[in-house]
Every structure is written in structure tokens, then in C-alpha cells.
């Protein structure tokens, strides 16, 4: 048995308390597996007097996480405060400067400052690991960085925001509107303080940017992620997509193309019977594709105390075991700066529009599509009921987004469709 690994934990919310519980309750198991005791020496949080359901009295307390990060009796700084800048970043930098290894669950900080922090950690000869930042308990960073290290990665996909997946699957199962389910999710405490982080796709976009960097050996480029949230998804789309054998998911896709690095986080249609299509509620799923391994699908809880603490402990145990891997799987200096692909890889699209009940209306739509070079795979016109417009659904053949936009403009020009048609990409999974 060698020296203990001494943790300093900053941030004692749900995840922090979960980590403390694991370290306290499984001391023997952790020591057996890593070959050395794993202990906590100091903790820090915004408020000291709060019942967190764990014993903290035996640990030194620091009000300032930066001071915690520099303590002599801390070998590994565990950053669980969150926020891309502010105390999290200051304390992480302080820990690195003081020669401490760092484990963080902070996707926002790494998506924005990951390149700099990784380079700094590398120069200081310390580890900076972040399994808990992506897809909760799923060991996706480890699988991609180490498990598939003999592969050229061809594509990474994922449903990585449980809240969005909860909203979309609940809209479908309960037949409720987006607004109704959004309120419900808010009441259940599923949403971030700023809900845009969830429903706007930002949180999931951060995670995608981190996976891209590892997969393609590129600098983290969150600004290069084409973001679209789920706010505009209507019940009608969910219902009618289902009717055509699809589900709507907030899906992240990253792939290296001849046009540069394509990173998208947006609502997509996927086949209802695919693993991604079958994903219900708050569960996360990541799909990794490599030239040797083919397709690997990983599924598990994307958030919550236990799963996220499990991921933090995976990094902690790696460090206890002496496992040292570059933050993004190769030296930070060798990551290349990606050129964002300006446009998305061609795909089929799902279109929904309200067509006026006039003779020749459908022909005009078909003509507009044809003139833009967009061909129709399937089409359904629904009953008019008592409206003066009829819902029309179209599934196109594979097309570029540019051609599609031209077609949508053409359709608008005919004056036979009310409002703006809905267009959602259909992803081949």
C-alpha cells in the first residue's frame, strides 16, 4: 500500500455529496482496487451551514476554492462547482499551477477553456480529467479516449441532455404541448436555473464539442457547433413523425468531412426502432463509430447524484492507480484547429406545412420542391377537419440544406402554405 491519494473537493451540491458518500462508504473497495487509500482532506462550498446528508466535520473547510486547490495536503483537486469562468476556472488554474491533478465535471468550463487548461495542465505535468462532464455515468470519455484508441473515429452521435429527452418523450406519451411539459419539467426541478442551457441545446452542445475534440484530434470548438434547441417542436411534429415511423430527438452529431468539422446539436428525426429512437425519458445515449470497431452504443443515466459521482470516481480512481492520459487523448499541442464545416452533410428532411384548401395547391408545392432540386420520397395529406388549411407532411430524399432552403423560399412564394413550413433533418443512425 502506497501513500493515500488526498482529495480536495470544491462544490458540495448533489454530485459533491455523492462523491463524499462513495469515498466514505467504500474506503476498502477503493483501496483494494486502486492499491492505495483514497481519502478526502478538505472541502469547500458557498455555504458552510447546510445539511448535505454527509459527515464533513473531519475535513478541513475552505471558504475559498482557490485556497483549497493550493493546500499542501491536497493531491487531487475535484472541481464540482460549475460555471465556465469565475471560481471554478480560478481554482482549477490554481490547482494546476500548484502541481495538483484535477478532476472536473464542468462541461461549460472545458467547452470554452478546455484547450488552454489542457495545455497548462500538460506543461505542469498534471492530469486534467472530465468523465463526469459528458453523459453522466456513461463511461464515454474513457471508451472514446482509451477503449477506441486504435480507431480512426468516423462519427460521434448522442442524446446527451436528459431534460430535453424527457420533454420530447413526455410530449409524445402524454400528448401534451411543449409549453405544458416545459412547465412540468420546471416544477419537477429538471431544468437548469437558465433553462436555455437545456432546451436551447447549449449544455448538450458543450458535451458534443468535448467529444469532437477527442474523436478528431481537434481543439475544442464549441463556437463551431451549429446549435438549435427544441423550443419550436410542436406536438403535431411529434405525432406525425411517429406516424411515419420516426421519433424526434435533440441529437448531437460530429463528423470530419471534406468541408471541415461538422458539429450539430439540433432536433432530428431518427427511426423509431433504432436504439436512439427507443431512448425514453432522462436516459442518455452516445453512439461512437470507428473504422475498425464499427458502431458502439452506450446507454445510461445522464445526470443525478449516483451516476455523476460514479463518473467523477472513475477519474479519481484512474489517478489513484497512476493512469495518466492526455485530457483529450493526445498532447494538447498536437490538437489541430478545426475548420467548421459551413454546411451540414446532405440528408433527407421532414417537412410539415399547412396547405390552403385550394385546387392546385399541392402541385405548386411539388413544383417549388422540384425547381430547387429537392425530390419527394413520401407525402401525406391529412384530413381538413374544419380548418381552411390541411396539414401536409413530406419526407424528401437526401438533399443539401441549401437546396432545401431554396425550396422553402419557393413554397413561401407560391402563397399556398400558411406560415413557415417546419423542416427537421432526418439523421441516418
Q: According to the binding rule CB under 8 A, does residue 139 interact with a copy of itself?
A: yes
Q: How far is the CB of 178 from a copy of itself (least distance, A)?
A: 26
Residue 127 interacts with a copy of itself (CB under 8 A): yes or no = no
Nine-digit cell string for 122: 500538460
Indicate the length of the chain as a whole number.
429
Annotated catalytic residue 107: no
Counting contacts by CB under 8 A, is residue 333 touching a copy of itself? no
Give the burial string for 55-70 (b: 16+ CB within 10 Å, else e).
Answer: ebeebeebeebbebbb
Which of 34, 41, 106, 172: binder of a copy of itself (CB under 8 A)?
Answer: 34
What whole-number distance in Å separates Cα of residue 425 and Cα of residue 270? Answer: 9
**What spatial distance separates the first Cα and last Cα of the chain, rounded to whole Å?**
47
Of 32, 51, 57, 386, the one binding a copy of itself by CB under 8 A: 32
- Residues 399 and 374: beta-carbon distance below 8 Å: yes
| Closest distance to a copy of itself from the beta carbon of 22 (Å) | 5
Q: Which stretch binds a copy of itself (CB under 8 A): 49-57, 137-145, 370-378, 398-406?
A: 137-145
Binding of a copy of itself by 298 (CB under 8 A): yes
Residues 277-296 as x/- pattern, contact with a copy of itself by CB under 8 A? -x-----------xxxxxxx
Mutual angle of helices 401-414 and 361-371, in 10-degree steps: 150
Q: Which residue has the cell 471541415?
A: 260
Q: Quick one: CA dihedral 407, 409, 410, 416, positive or negative?
A: positive
Nearer to a copy of itself among residue 13 and residue 304 (C-beta): 304
Q: How many residues bind a copy of itself (CB under 8 A)?
A: 60
Exactly one of 24, 33, 125, 257 binds a copy of itself (CB under 8 A); which one?
33
- Contact residues for 205 (Cβ-Cβ < 8 A; gap 6+): 111, 222, 225, 227, 252, 263, 265
CA distance 308 to 18: 8
Active site residues: 207
Contact positions vs a copy of itself (CB under 8 A): 18, 22, 26, 29-30, 32-35, 131, 137-139, 142-143, 146-152, 217, 273, 275, 278, 290-301, 304, 306-307, 309-314, 316-318, 321-326, 329-331, 334
Amino acid at each position: 500500500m502506497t501513500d493515500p491519494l488526498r482529495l480536495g473537493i470544491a462544490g458540495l451540491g448533489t454530485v459533491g455529496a455523492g462523491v463524499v458518500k462513495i469515498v466514505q462508504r467504500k474506503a476498502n473497495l477503493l483501496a483494494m482496487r486502486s492499491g492505495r487509500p483514497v481519502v478526502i482532506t478538505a472541502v469547500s462550498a458557498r455555504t458552510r451551514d447546510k445539511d448535505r446528508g454527509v459527515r464533513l466535520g473531519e475535513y478541513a473547510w475552505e471558504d475559498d476554492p482557490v485556497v483549497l486547490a493550493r493546500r499542501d495536503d491536497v493531491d487531487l483537486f475535484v472541481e464540482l462547482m460549475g460555471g465556465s469562468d469565475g471560481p471554478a476556472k480560478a481554482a482549477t488554474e490554481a490547482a494546476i499551477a500548484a502541481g495538483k491533478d484535477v478532476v472536473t465535471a464542468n462541461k461549460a468550463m472545458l467547452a470554452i477553456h478546455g484547450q488552454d487548461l489542457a495545455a497548462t495542465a500538460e506543461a505542469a505535468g498534471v492530469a486534467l480529467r472530465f468523465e463526469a462532464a459528458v453523459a453522466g455515468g456513461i463511461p464515454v470519455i474513457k471508451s472514446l479516449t482509451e477503449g477506441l484508441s486504435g480507431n480512426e473515429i468516423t462519427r460521434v452521435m448522442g442524446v446527451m441532455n436528459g431534460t430535453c429527452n424527457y420533454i420530447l418523450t413526455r410530449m409524445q406519451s402524454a400528448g401534451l404541448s411543449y409549453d405544458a411539459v416545459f412547465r412540468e419539467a420546471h416544477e419537477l426541478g429538471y431544468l437548469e436555473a437558465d433553462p436555455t442551457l437545456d432546451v436551447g441545446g447549449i449544455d448538450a452542445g458543450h458535451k458534443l464539442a468535448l467529444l469532437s475534440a477527442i474523436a478528431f484530434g481537434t481543439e475544442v470548438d464549441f463556437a463551431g457547433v451549429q446549435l438549435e434547441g427544441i423550443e419550436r417542436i410542436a406536438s403535431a411534429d411529434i405525432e406525425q413523425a411517429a406516424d411515419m415511423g420516426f421519433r424526434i430527438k435533440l441529437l448531437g452529431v460530429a463528423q470530419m468531412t471534406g468541408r471541415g468539422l461538422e458539429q450539430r446539436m439540433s432536433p432530428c428525426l431518427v427511426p423509431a426502432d433504432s436504439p436512439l429512437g427507443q431512448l425514453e425519458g432522462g436516459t442518455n445515449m452516445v453512439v461512437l463509430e470507428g473504422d475498425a470497431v464499427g458502431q458502439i452504443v452506450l446507454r445510461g443515466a445522464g445526470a443525478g447524484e449516483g451516476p455523476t459521482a460514479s463518473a467523477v470516481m472513475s477519474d479519481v480512481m484512474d489517478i489513484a492507480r497512476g493512469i495518466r492520459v492526455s485530457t483529450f487523448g493526445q498532447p494538447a499541442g498536437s490538437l489541430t484547429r478545426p475548420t467548421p464545416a459551413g454546411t451540414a452533410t446532405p440528408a433527407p428532411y421532414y417537412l410539415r406545412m399547412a396547405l390552403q384548401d385550394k385546387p392546385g395547391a399541392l402541385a405548386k408545392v411539388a413544383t417549388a420542391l422540384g425547381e430547387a432540386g429537392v425530390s419527394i420520397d413520401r407525402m401525406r395529406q391529412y384530413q381538413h377537419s374544419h380548418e381552411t388549411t390541411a396539414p401536409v407532411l413530406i419526407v424528401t430524399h437526401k438533399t443539401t440544406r441549401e437546396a432545401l432552403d431554396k425550396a422553402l423560399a419557393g413554397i413561401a412564394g407560391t402563397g399556398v402554405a400558411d406560415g413557415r413550413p417546419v423542416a427537421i433533418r432526418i439523421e441516418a443512425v
